[in-house]
Amino acid sequence: MKSEDLKEVVKRKYGAIANHSLQMAPLSCCGSSGCCGELEFSMIGDEYQHVEGYNPDADLGLGCGIPTQFADIKRGDHLLDLGSGAGNDCFVARVIVGDTGKVTGLDFTDAMVRRAVENAHKLGHTNVSFVKGDIEEMPFTDSTFDVIVSNCVLNLVPDKNKAFAEMMRVLKPSGHFCVSDVVLKGNLPEELKNDAEMYVGCVSGAIEINEYLSIIALQGFKNITVHKQKEILIPKEIMDKYLSVTEGIRFKDSDNGIYSITVSGYKN
């Protein structure tokens, strides 16, 4: 599947999630509600309930970590959230940057941007804004942000070199990023990697962890640190859908796997 086709798949699926959440309880292509056709895959994201600034209306269950936890955000910072969705991490970050700071969310799905704007309006936030745009071609000038965060989004970006290059460009000279994302250890079977629904289910867009970290370094980031990693177990029914019994056993017995990680890096 070509890059633009993959983007359209992601946009369509996440638009459906945003529109669905306006009418009923949140559901996720990474959750157990099966919004991606027959796909049922749980990312088992970290719990936000006790995080200051958390707003249930903005949590669509799409995350795989809490990047703000390790982002070293300071009062007065201008923070960018990539793939901001309904605004969950933006509202958490807003508490940390305070009234003197600013939070900007970037998402390329119209329905998600609308949902986030509505949530910000309900909360009365005047220093949180949401912009439509592509992570590979961000609509921001150079050296704009102090901190960038992202939660289970960059793995869905087809060209990760472009994504991290753009992050480097829009960060201030003293800026840094902290993202939670999904990576692989070893090789994921092609049957999983090439399936479009699994792609939007936050798995097949993932790349091997060493390649992921190498891309970050290649774009010039320093002091790269993996703060947290957690294995994501694929349910048997999903394995059975894509792999034969023999292939499933071979995969389980190998050192291969899917992990959520939280990693940071500094521009200088």
**Model pLDDT for residues 18-44, shown as the tens digit of each residue:** 676 544 433 444 443 333 344 444 445
Would you state the pLDDT for residue 163?
Answer: 97
Residue with the bigger pLDDT between 163 and 9: it is: 163
Average pLDDT over residues 184-205: 67
**92-114 residue pLDDT tens:** 999 999 999 999 999 998 989 99
Amino acid 264: pLDDT: 98
First to last CA, the chain: 36
Minimum mean pLDDT range among 167-171, 217-221, 250-254 = 250-254
Q: What is the pLDDT of residue 103?
A: 98
pLDDT value of residue 45: 62
Q: Kindly indicate the confidence band of residue 257, based on its pLDDT and cuts at 50, 70 and 90.
A: confident
pLDDT of residue 60: 76
- In order of start, what are the domains of the chain with their CATH numbers? 3-266 (3.40.50.150)
Mean residue pLDDT of the chain comes to 83
Q: Give the pair of three-digit tokens for residue 14.
A: 């996440």
Q: What is the pTM of this model?
A: 0.84
Amino acid 195: pLDDT? 61
